[in-house]
């Protein structure tokens, strides 16, 4: 009898387990537009971006909350669509009322790490804050108050989402960082040779002569450093969600960020799931990140 009860329980559980595989035609679909371009006077060039508009956008006159979703190194503005399938995830999550209808904007950050370089010549951060966000708000029916604007990203984009939200808490209500490419100052200081020259020098400046030290500009934009230097009031303005796999090579930096925030008693959510630095990990986590941000949008 116990075996029969167990079998029946497993059978009854099957529909729940496969509910997310229902055909797409049964779910209202939003609109994805790729290959859009924005002319930046700060960068002196065009910036590509893609956008997801929720299913009821075309039929309504409402304004919508917006999430800026940043890609990782070697990807571009289409990465979250092609490999992350974020539009499919958003469609289902909206249909299931897990997240409110929202606009998702995916800019092409190249290899900028979403910041200005140490010389102030490549000013991606300035472009994003001063030009791109206002352009999105003017072009699409967004709610322009910070209470309705979130930011998220993976790897390099995780770094970008954290840095931008920590440096501009007046712009974002919530941040969800996946597998963020963050390091402690100690670990960054230990990087030498081609690794440093290729990854850090163009952005942060030459490596200091003193062994184990980092360039001063690194401290000004590194999320782990910012978690210790930004004022309590500024950090508390943004809700943070940090998610990194237990097999990810970036787990140590993410744990350090969690500890830095915890030491200062800054409220945040920290998740360590089974997985590595892969699209499988990010695809299975993005809805939880959007749900976290969406909680701030709801009234």
CA dist list (Å): 29 to 85, 87, 90, 253: 13, 8, 9, 37
Structure confidence at residue 211 (pLDDT): 84
Structure confidence at residue 170 (pLDDT): 98
- Residue 239 within a domain: yes
Q: How confident is the model at residue 190 (pLDDT cuts 50, 70, 90)?
A: confident
- Residue 136 within a domain: yes
CA dist list (Å): 174 to 21, 97, 113: 29, 19, 19
Beta strands 45-53 and 31-40: pairing type? Answer: antiparallel
Structure confidence at residue 10 (pLDDT): 37
> Model pTM?
0.91
Across the range 238-244, mean pLDDT stands at 98
Q: How confident is the model at residue 179 (pLDDT cuts 50, 70, 90)?
A: very high
3-state secondary structure of 93: helix
Across the range 267-279, mean pLDDT stands at 98
Identify whether the C-beta of residue 68 lies closer than 8 Å to the C-beta of residue 150.
yes
- Dmax over CA atoms of the chain, in Å, equals 74
Express as a percent the part of the chain with pLDDT over 70: 92
Nearest to 78 by CA among 25, 33, 142: 33
Domain hosting 111: range is: 27-183+222-297
Q: How confident is the model at residue 299 (pLDDT cuts 50, 70, 90)?
A: confident
Which DSSP symbol is given to 207? P
Euclidean distance between CA atoms 209 and 20, whole angstroms: 54
Q: What's 273's domain CATH number?
A: 3.40.50.1820
Nearest to 66 by CA among 75, 57, 58: 57
Give pLDDT tens digits for 19-76: 355 556 689 999 999 999 999 999 999 999 999 999 999 999 999 999 999 999 999 9
Across the range 186-207, mean pLDDT stands at 86
Express as a percent the part of the chain with pLDDT over 90: 83
- Residue 230 within a domain: yes
- Residue 105 within a domain: yes
- Residue 67 within a domain: yes
- Residue 246 within a domain: yes
Q: How confident is the model at residue 193 (pLDDT cuts 50, 70, 90)?
A: confident
Give pLDDT tens digits for 113-141: 999 999 999 999 999 999 999 999 999 99
Structure confidence at residue 234 (pLDDT): 98
- Residue 14 within a domain: no
- Residue 265 within a domain: yes
Q: Number of structural domains, the chain?
A: 1
Is the pLDDT at 4 greater than 80, yes or no? no
Neighbouring C-beta atoms of residue 26, cutoff 10 Å: 8
């Amino acid at each position: 009898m116990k075996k029969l009860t167990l079998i029946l329980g497993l059978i009854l559980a099957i529909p729940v387990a496969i509910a997310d595989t229902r055909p797409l035609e049964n779910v209202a679909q939003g609109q994805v537009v790729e290959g859009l371009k924005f002319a930046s006077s700060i960068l002196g060039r065009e910036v590509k971006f893609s956008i997801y508009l929720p299913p009821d956008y075309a039929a309504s006159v409402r304004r919508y909350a917006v999430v800026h979703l940043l890609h990782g190194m070697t990807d571009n503005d289409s990465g979250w669509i092609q490999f992350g399938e974020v539009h499919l995830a958003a469609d289902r999550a909206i249909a299931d009322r897990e997240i409110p209808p929202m606009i998702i904007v995916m800019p092409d950050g190249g290899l900028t790490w979403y910041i200005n370089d140490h010389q102030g010549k490549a000013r991606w951060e300035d472009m994003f804050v001063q030009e791109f966000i206002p352009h999105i708000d003017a072009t699409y029916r967004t709610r322009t108050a910070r209470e309705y604007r979130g930011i998220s990203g993976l790897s390099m984009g995780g770094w970008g989402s954290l840095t931008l939200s920590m440096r501009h808490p007046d712009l974002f209500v919530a941040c969800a960082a996946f597998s963020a490419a963050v390091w402690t100052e100690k670990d960054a200081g230990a990087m030498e040779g081609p690794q440093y020259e290729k990854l850090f020098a163009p952005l942060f400046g030459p490596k200091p002569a003193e062994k184990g030290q980092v360039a001063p500009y690194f401290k000004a934009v590194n999320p782990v450093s910012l978690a210790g230097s930004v004022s309590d009031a500024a950090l508390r303005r943004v809700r943070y969600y940090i998610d990194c796999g237990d097999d990810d090579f970036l787990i140590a930096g993410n744990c350090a960020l969690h500890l830095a925030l915890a030491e200062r008693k800054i409220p945040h959510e920290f998740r360590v799931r089974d997985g590595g630095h892969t699209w499988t990990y990010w695809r299975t986590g993005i809805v939880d990140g959007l749900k976290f941000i969406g909680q701030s949008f709801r009234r």
